[in-house]
Amino acid sequence: MKRVVITGLGAITPIGIGKESFWNSLTQGKSGVGPITRFDTTDFDTKIGAEVKDFNPSDYMDKKEAKRMDRFTQYAVVGAKLALEDGKIDLDKLNLDKVGVVIGVGIGGMETMGTEFAKLGDRGPSRVSPLYIPMMISNMAPGQISMTFGFRGPTMTITTACASGTHAIGEAFRMIKSGNVDMIVTGGAEASITPISLAGFCSMKALSTRNDDPIKASRPFDKERDGFVMGEGAGILILEELNHALARGANIYGEIVGYGSTSDAFHITQPDPEAKGASRAMEMALNEAEADYHDIEYINAHGTSTYFNDKLETLAIKNVFKEHAKNINISSTKSMTGHLLGAAGGIEAIAAIMAIKEGIIPPTINYDNPDEECDLNYTPNKAVKRDINYALSNSLGFGGHNATVLFKKYIG
């Protein structure tokens, strides 16, 4: 089996665009949550979100092309561009038949869908754009990446709600490990801060309503957590077969060595109360890597700031790591970025990889009130320095989808 390494990182996030800006904000504990600015939230219970700031697609692509993409696709394409640039990848020197694209998308083109449904209701079917379908469908994120850069390998979307980005990375890892491709552009993209999405999550009572103090709204594992905060953006990684990376003199951030994917088979939104699925996903990743549970120093938790997720993810970690669980630094970077849904696994994988590379664990901010059911080391409020050899990243999605990827410090 082939070894798989990470050689490029591209981030479009509520706390910064580009790997360096994103990572600096994480380590400084900067929140990206604030009042939603894209539409009037007067009639909504939740009026806050984690929007991407200062993003102008025409800075990265032709204006005409940008207009033919929903915002989630723009994020994906620009994230890929940044990752390819970060990886110093010369497209002319690649066998493009052996470069694939696998992107996780939880929802897809909700902004386009909302705009075109309004046209249908107000002005009739003839006014619906002929670009509606190709802009809205979730597979257009990897499709546009492949067309933009000429990648002709396997190109697909993974949709498993909030686990989509992590599943995409895991499946890309397996494709390269099997020897079928040399390189895959992977991760997640999402742009679902729209009126219909916000209304749906509000109706579920899933979102924080801490509108008067948005910076404090996302508070994973804290006893006063009251729901997640919607975020948006993209986290894109370049995964590459080791010898292929070495042959071109690539900068190697780290190695991906394990992947676990399970289902709770329990409920459409709530996790299994015994956390068996999430536990087994972590165990699968450890087993594939032939790593002992004592080897793990850091977990980037799913940590949504909802009652059930945080309680049961804590239980899953205890199930797997036993007495060692208290020795692990855990953090939920959603405390700063909000929850990027299908893109969450992408930016959180970048956070885990950078933690290994830099020897710094980003904090869980807003952790002020310990919860007796969440009693592990969540790296409260300030980043800490720690040498990290192994880091896990967890994602858990509506429908009972669980995904874990395991990263390791690269040793040649």
Q: Each residue of 150-201: pLDDT tens digit?
A: 999 999 999 999 999 999 999 999 999 999 999 999 999 999 999 999 999 9
Residues of the chain with pLDDT under 50: none
Q: In this predicted structure, what is the pLDDT of residue 1? A: 86
Domain 258-408 bears CATH identifier 3.10.20.30: no
> 357-396: buried (b, 16+ CB within 10 Å) or exposed (e) per residue?
beebbbbbbbbeeebeebebbbbbeebeeeebebbbbbbb
- Enumerate the β-bridge partners of residue 333: none
Q: In this predicted structure, what is the pLDDT of residue 174? A: 98
Answer whether 4-247 and 258-408 agree in fold: yes
CA distance 194 to 142: 22
Q: How many CB atoms lie within 10 A of CB 38?
A: 14
C-alpha dihedral (160, 166, 170, 175), degrees to nearest 10? 70
Sign for the pseudo-dihedral over CA of 174, 404, 328, 232: positive
4-247 CATH choice from 3.90.1300.10, 3.40.50.280, 3.30.1020.10, 3.40.47.10: 3.40.47.10
Active-site residue set: 162, 302, 339
Domain boundaries, the chain: 4-247, 258-408
Q: In this predicted structure, what is the pLDDT of residue 412? A: 82
Q: Each residue of 82-130: pLDDT tens digit?
A: 999 999 999 999 999 999 999 999 999 999 999 999 999 999 999 999 9
Q: In this predicted structure, what is the pLDDT of residue 246? A: 98
3-state secondary structure the chain: CCCEEEEEEEEEECCEECHHHHHHHHHHCCCCCEECCCCCCCCCCCCEEECCCCCCHHHCCCHHHHHCCCHHHHHHHHHHHHHHHHCCCCHHHCCHHHEEEEEECCCCCHHHHHHHHHHHHHHCHHHCCCCHHHHHCCCHHHHHHHHHHCCCCCEEEECECECHHHHHHHHHHHHHHCCCCCEEEEEEEECCCCHHHHHHHHHCCCECCCCCCHHHCCCCCCCCCCCECEECEEEEEEEEEHHHHHHCCCCCCEEEEEEEEEECCCCCCCCCCCCHHHHHHHHHHHHHHCCCHHHCCEEECCCCCCHHHHHHHHHHHHHHHHHHHHHCEEECCHHHHCECHHHHHHHHHHHHHHHHHHCEECCECCCCCCECCECCCCCECCCEECCCCEEEEEEEECCCEEEEEEEECCCC
